[in-house]
Amino acid sequence: MRKTEKWPDIQRFAEGGGAGAAGAGAGGAAGTAGAEGTPDAAGNEQGVGAASQQQPGPDKLTLFRDMITGEYKDEFGQEMQRIIDKRFAKSKQTEASLKAVQPIIGMLAEKYGVKPEDVDGLGKAIEADQSFWEEDAAKAGMSVEQYKNYKRIERENAQLLAAQRESANHEAEQQAMAALNAEVEEAKKFYPELDLEAELNDPAHGAHFAKLLNSGIDVKTCYEVLHHDEIMMGAMQYAGQKAAQQVAASVRANRNRPPENGGTNTGAVNGAPDVAHMSKAERRALIERARSGERVVL
């Protein structure tokens, strides 16, 4: 998975920040419902998103390109400039620091008779200059050679510690990325369409998504918070289709049930509603009653 500029602070994974185990509120319930099948016109089960898949609209990439070349062109340009400035900020700082020390290097190079660009030669010249070390060696109570060895070991230890810190940071980042990927895969069990990179780069809610992740909220819950309306709409559609399927199954079961005791229909049976002869409005009323939770018996 490739990092983006809005990538969350994944150190919270390495520090045991922990992901939330469950979705927030109705979003979590909707996620469970969305994983089941829903009926089609023939009573067969299919995914909740089947209706929308039958009439696909413009893909997200097309919509995004339309936005950044149209209404949000200026805002997108400003954001890209901010990203570029941030990315090259350290390089500019390093370049400025090098320019600042160039005159000092030039003076030292002139003193020791080496070229300013010969950094290695300049270091050796300073190392060999006894007068450069005498005063500090005397203060430390050491000979010049002892003091030079002491400072050399000190520099080597500092370099070793820096390398160890870099290695530890790299390992921690790898572990954090693995934890984040695990959260994404778990969330995809409920929302297969989830794309973390697309979520983080979404111009509408990408920053909010990253902020939630940085707060210690797991990927699944973040997705449910930002897509709550869509999830609820899908859950409602699924519930309606499920109720319609149950009504249809009940009607078929009653239609195929044999008369009791092998006798003819009694007056009470004749008075029962016959779905086959109901009007469309009457059948719709039965469906609405079933949707509301009522147990309809025919």
Q: Shortest CA distance to 290 belongs to which of 249, 233, 258?
A: 249
Q: Is residue 149 part of a domain?
A: no
192 has a pLDDT exceeding 70 = yes
Q: Is residue 20 part of a domain?
A: no
CA distance 100 to 7: 34
Domain around 278: 28-39+47-59+228-257+274-298
Side-chain-side CA neighbours of residue 285 (13 Å)? 7
Q: Which two tokens stand for residue 155?
A: 């520099």
Q: Is residue 73 part of a domain?
A: no
Instruction: Give yes or no: residues 218 and 201 share one domain.
Output: yes
pLDDT tier, 276 (very low <50, low <70, confident <90, very high otherwise): low
Contacts of 11 (CB under 8 A, 6+ apart): 172, 173, 176
**pLDDT tens-digit readout, 147-158:** 999 999 999 999
Q: Shortest CA distance to 210 belongs to which of 202, 223, 225, 200?
A: 200
Q: Nearest-5° angle of CA 34, CA 18, CA 220?
A: 15
Instruction: Give yes or no: residues 251 and 196 share one domain.
Output: no
**pLDDT tens-digit readout, 221-236:** 999 888 887 877 766 7
pLDDT tier, 66 (very low <50, low <70, confident <90, very high otherwise): confident
Residue 43's pLDDT is 46
pTM of the model: 0.38
Instruction: Give yes or no: residues 246 and 298 share one domain.
Output: yes
Instruction: Give yes or no: residues 236 and 195 share one domain.
Output: no
**pLDDT tens-digit readout, 253-270:** 776 666 555 544 444 445
Domain count, the chain: 2
Residue 272's pLDDT is 58
Measuring CA to CA, how many Å separate 249 from each of 39, 90, 154, 243, 267?
Answer: 11, 68, 82, 10, 25
Contacts of 83 (CB under 8 A, 6+ apart): 5
Q: Is residue 232 part of a domain?
A: yes
Q: Is residue 279 part of a domain?
A: yes
CA distance 104 to 157: 26
Range scoring the smallest mean pLDDT among 21-25, 103-107, 172-176: 21-25
Residue 162's pLDDT is 92
Find the distance separating the first CA and the last CA of the chain, reported in whole Å.
Answer: 55
Residue 87's pLDDT is 74
